[in-house]
A and B are shown apart, each in its own frame.
Chain A
Amino acid sequence: MPWSNMNAKQRENDRFQVRLWFALGVIVLVFGVLIGRMAYLQIFQHQHFLTEAEDNRQQLQPIAPTRGLIYDRKGRLLAGNRATHSVTLVPEQLLGGKQGVDDTIAQLQSIIDIDDSDIKRFKRRLRQARKPYSSVPLRYRLNDQEIAQITVNQHVLQGVRVEAELVRYYPFDNGFVHALGYVGRINDREMARLDPVNYSDTHHVGKLGVEKYYEADLHGQVGYQTVETNARGRVLRVLERQEPVPGSSIALHLDAMLQAKAVELLAGKRGSIVALDPNTGGVLAMVSAPSYGANQFVTGISSKAYGELRESDELPLFNRALRGRYPPASTVKPVISLAAIDTKIINPNYTILDPGYYQLTEGGRLYRDWKEGGHGRVNLHKSIVESVDTYYYDIGHRMGNVPMTSYMAKFGLGQVTIADQPEALKAVLPTKEWKRAFRNASWFPGDSLNMSIGQGFLSATPLQMATMTMVMANKGKWHQIRMIKDMNGQEVTQVSQLGRKDPVMLDDVKLNRDSYWDRIHKAMIAVMHSNTGTARRSGANSSYQIAGKTGTAQVTGIKQDEEYDAEKIAERLRDHGLFVGWAPAKKPEIVVAIIVENGGGGSSAAAPLARKLFDSYLLAPAKDKSKDNREASDG
């Protein structure tokens, strides 16, 4: 080998060695960077990433409390919970992600029944704010076959789940909703109002009535569990669990059998029945007819069914018992006469000669009595028994607005005295000031005449009429009117015991002489049991005494914009039949107020219903009001 060649080889080799050293340098440098990176992540950022790993692994899941149950006074279940299955989608887990929603729905539609309104509601829920990887319900109330169909197809239905949840169930679906209210899906507006923590796993909220008023108690306190999940959100095991506190159970004064009886009595009619327990102020029955089923509202009523309810001219959604403002008609006469004698406008023996009409001035307008030719000589007793209008025109005119309204107010008219029905209305107890404000006119003597027979501007809800009658039956003794009897077994006589605001609390009505009560009571008994009483037919042959008063309210007119056929107009122009009363007369156990819209006279339309209610309540076989058998059925 030539030397120069060897030299070139040596140079090349040297150059190569230099490159190797250079490569080694790069390797050392890069290893330094990689190890530095690992050390940075594993030492300096260790706590941060450890927390993230734990957050990944553990999830805090809220557990909805079981909603408190609602019983009637005898321990019968009025509102319970039952498991229903619904199919839900987790949009993040669907094939094709959120865009796969339509495909998945179409796929499900080939397996189970899903209609457009389900899809519409699903899409609406999808747009609402929600946590990632939370499921969105698509259809409720799956039957066993549908559950099976989804389960066997589970492998092709990624992100689709069948979930069970406890939802409200009303065993008495017919005619109880106006007393109980109902729960429904929480909407956006309610979501903003409710405690987001306590309601984090709750889907329903009280929408109306008792369910709404006692929402805070019925709901309970949310529980939590810490679970270990994998990346797909599947729960692998529960690490820690704090049980939810179930909602309080509530017993109402309501008597389910009496309520059902009242529903039956009003079947096919429009009207309302309210029954109270005069010894406690509890509501025994509260019916508004026609009614609707509450269960369909729990899981979401279809818009078609809801439209039918809303458009019906029978107004089934309208709670007549709490919100129907009717002229109380002659049912106020006992209170008016009490006002007249207690204020000494007349003495208790005051009589008039009734020609069948009344005139404010000679030759003026005739205010007619219901009976042509009149009742002859009429005293206070007869004025109630035969419901003589002329007598009340006379004393009403003598009293004027103030004594009448102040006494009616003492009996609860014009105010909401029920504690736990948030929808109740005040109706109208017209004062001079009221007329000035709302009718922009002075109070005329004719207005007093109309008010004395419970017509004109005066209006009252069936609940108010029952309340007024309860105070009458109790000889002035008031109780807070309420649905609730006890909560978790603790008796509730006023809602302020539960930390809530009491409604208007009226003082007991004190008269100058207690004997005035007896006079009125005697007359109201005679309404039922004398041979001239307006409700004598309904009082006949009863094994207990009834005190009552009928009323017949003239229907003033039909709104111009409503269209009725001739037959309907004739029907809708008929008088409303009213009745208020209690039984047994001397030791009242039940007070009722009944109104049958366009039912005709109170004696024929309303009083017979009252008799049947009294019979049902007082003569019921195996009556054991003293015994509370709720413990037995509580489960």
Chain B
Amino acid sequence: MADFQRSVPDTVKFLRRGPSILARSRIDLWLLFPVLCIMALGLVVLYSGAGASQEAVDKQLLRYGVAMLGMLIMAQINLRELERFVPVLYVIGILLLVGVLLFGVGAKGAQRWLQIPGGPRFQPSELLKLAVPLTVAWYLAGKPRPPSLLHTLVAFALVMVPVLLIAKQPDLGTSVLIGASGIFVIFFGGLLWRYVVLAIVAAAAAMPALWMVMHDYQKQRVMTLLNPESDPLGAGWNIIQSKIAIGSGGLTGKGWLQGTQSHLDFLPETHTDFIIAVLAEEFGLLGVLLLMFLYAFVLIRGLIIAGKAKDPFSRMLAASLTLTFFVYLVVNIGMVSGLLPVVGVPLPLVSYGGTSAVTLMLSIGMLMSIRAQRTSRRLRKVR
């Protein structure tokens, strides 16, 4: 078949009206459209959340540009060809994480960055957000599925090493996200349901142990969630104020730039982690529902791509990336609405900040690549 293809003359290819520019660019419109809508809505809310700041919008636009470029490039890469570099990426990531623990810089009692001498500083944990699902998918793809207990345990170890290193920084939000992305791969690798149930039971049993190793400020966040009124001016402030912001928005909201909670500084982190509270205050439940609808669009498209992917590596990866995106949402919205503890997870594609946007768009790019891979194969088949 390959030989036949190679032998088809270029003129024939031209006459047969080859794949459109869109198909050749490997971009998936069904994924791109909701992402662009989310970004546009995000910029509108960001302008308000950053205190009517055009500068913040401009900077964010630039980041979106870089992120889109990253997505485009990622979409062109055939992930199967990338597979062999995956373990290298993983090892580099782990080494960098160890480096952070040894030489890292940071603030508020957390070491998260590595300072490049004479250059910018960066957060190695972002790299792991992609490296972990890739590595676990690569590992399990090479093994018989459903994976045996031994292979499952190895895969689990691959997940837990970076998770623990990042939790040690400490950066609870990121370690939860990375842990989730790895576990999802194992789950979609076909881990037997009895092990799934067992793992959930074990995790529940491990909760008290986790409590013991948590930092005081992390314990404080959990306690605050259970009873925010116990310290309304201290640890409970964020949750109380964001609930007030959301609740006071009502069905239709107070109007753009009219949110009192955000514009009078009662609400913390209005342009980063708590930005959905600004949306909820100014655009009401309707605004929230619009955003949730767009997110749902992305998630369902991600699941469809995963469902149609043919090789185990691609579909495990696609499903894991989609569900990780979902975890982002749940942790952020759950935190801001007072259902989950305050852990620093941004609202995907909306919160101000470069790294998370780039990482997320790279994973969107991977999804597009996976889709394009199967499409091109289908195209090839047709021909």
Name A residues whose Cβ lies closer than 8 Å to a Cβ of B: 12, 15-17, 19-20, 23-24, 27, 30-31, 33-35, 37-39, 41-43, 45-46, 48-50, 52-54, 56-57, 92, 132, 228-232, 236
The answer to whether A92 touches B333 (Cβ under 8 A) is no
The answer to whether A231 touches B265 (Cβ under 8 A) is yes
Closest to A48 in B: B247
Size of interface on B: residues with Cβ below 8 Å to A: 45
The residues of B that contact A17 with a CB separation of less than 8 Å are: 307
The answer to whether A19 touches B187 (Cβ under 8 A) is yes
Q: Which of B289-335 contact A (CB under 8 A)?
A: 289, 292, 296, 299-300, 303, 306-307, 312, 315, 319, 322-323, 326, 329-330, 333-334
User: Of B190, B266, B322, which contacts A16 at CB under 8 A?
Assistant: B190
CA distance A46 to B285 in the complex (A): 11
Closest to B304 in A: A20
CA distance A54 to B266 in the complex (A): 11
* B191 nearest CB across to chain A (Å): 9
The answer to whether B289 touches A35 (Cβ under 8 A) is yes
The answer to whether A231 touches B264 (Cβ under 8 A) is yes
The residues of B that contact A27 with a CB separation of less than 8 Å are: 296, 299, 323, 326
The answer to whether B266 touches A56 (Cβ under 8 A) is yes
The answer to whether B246 touches A12 (Cβ under 8 A) is no
The residues of B that contact A132 with a CB separation of less than 8 Å are: 233
The answer to whether A230 touches B264 (Cβ under 8 A) is yes
The residues of B that contact A34 with a CB separation of less than 8 Å are: 292, 329-330, 333-334, 337, 339
Closest to A49 in B: B247
User: Of B250, B265, B285, B303, which contacts A230 at CB under 8 A?
Assistant: B265
* B342 nearest CB across to chain A (Å): 15
Most chain B beta-carbon neighbours within 10 Å: one of A33, A46, A48: A46
Known: A23-B323, A38-B280, A236-B264. A50 touches B334 (CB 8 A): no
| B243 in contact (CB, < 8 A) | yes
The answer to whether A31 touches B292 (Cβ under 8 A) is yes
The residues of A that contact B299 with a CB separation of less than 8 Å are: 27
* A434 nearest CB across to chain B (Å): 63
1/0 contact string of B236-256 vs chain A (CB within 8 Å): 000001011111111100000
What are 28 inter-chain pairs, A to B, with CB distance below 8 A? A12-B146, A17-B307, A19-B188, A20-B306, A20-B319, A31-B296, A34-B329, A34-B339, A35-B292, A37-B337, A41-B243, A41-B247, A41-B280, A42-B284, A43-B250, A43-B285, A49-B243, A49-B244, A52-B247, A52-B248, A53-B244, A56-B260, A56-B266, A57-B260, A57-B264, A231-B241, A231-B264, A231-B265
The residues of A that contact B146 with a CB separation of less than 8 Å are: 12, 15
Q: Is the interface of A mostly helix, strand, loop or mixed?
A: helix
| B32 in contact (CB, < 8 A) | no
CA distance A38 to B289 in the complex (A): 9
Other A-B contacts than A20-B319, A35-B289, A42-B250, 10 sampled, CB-CB below 8 A, are: A12-B312, A16-B188, A27-B299, A34-B337, A37-B334, A42-B246, A43-B285, A46-B248, A56-B241, A232-B265
Known: A35-B289, A42-B285. A16 touches B333 (CB 8 A): no
Q: Is the interface of B mostly helix, strand, loop or mixed?
A: helix
| Number of A-B pairs, beta carbon distance below 8 Å | 123
* B259 nearest CB across to chain A (Å): 9
Known: A23-B323, A27-B326, A49-B243. A38 touches B337 (CB 8 A): yes
| B175 in contact (CB, < 8 A) | no
Closest to B316 in A: A16
The answer to whether A53 touches B307 (Cβ under 8 A) is no
The answer to whether B266 touches A42 (Cβ under 8 A) is no
| B101 in contact (CB, < 8 A) | no
Known: A20-B303, A50-B250. A56 touches B319 (CB 8 A): no
| B121 in contact (CB, < 8 A) | no
The answer to whether B244 touches A23 (Cβ under 8 A) is no
CA distance A132 to B232 in the complex (A): 12
CA distance A260 to B306 in the complex (A): 100
User: Of A12, A30, A92, which contacts B233 at CB under 8 A?
Assistant: A92
The residues of B that contact A39 with a CB separation of less than 8 Å are: 285
* B247 nearest CB across to chain A (Å): 3
The answer to whether A49 touches B248 (Cβ under 8 A) is yes
| B261 in contact (CB, < 8 A) | yes
User: Of A20, A45, A50, A56, which contacts B307 at CB under 8 A?
Assistant: A20
CA distance A49 to B260 in the complex (A): 12
The residues of A that contact B59 with a CB separation of less than 8 Å are: none
The residues of B that contact A232 with a CB separation of less than 8 Å are: 265
CA distance A23 to B303 in the complex (A): 9
The residues of B that contact A16 with a CB separation of less than 8 Å are: 188, 190, 307, 315, 319
The residues of A that contact B247 with a CB separation of less than 8 Å are: 41-42, 45-46, 48-50, 52-53
The answer to whether A229 touches B264 (Cβ under 8 A) is yes
Closest to A12 in B: B145
Closest to B192 in A: A15
* B314 nearest CB across to chain A (Å): 11
CA distance A175 to B190 in the complex (A): 98
| B288 in contact (CB, < 8 A) | yes
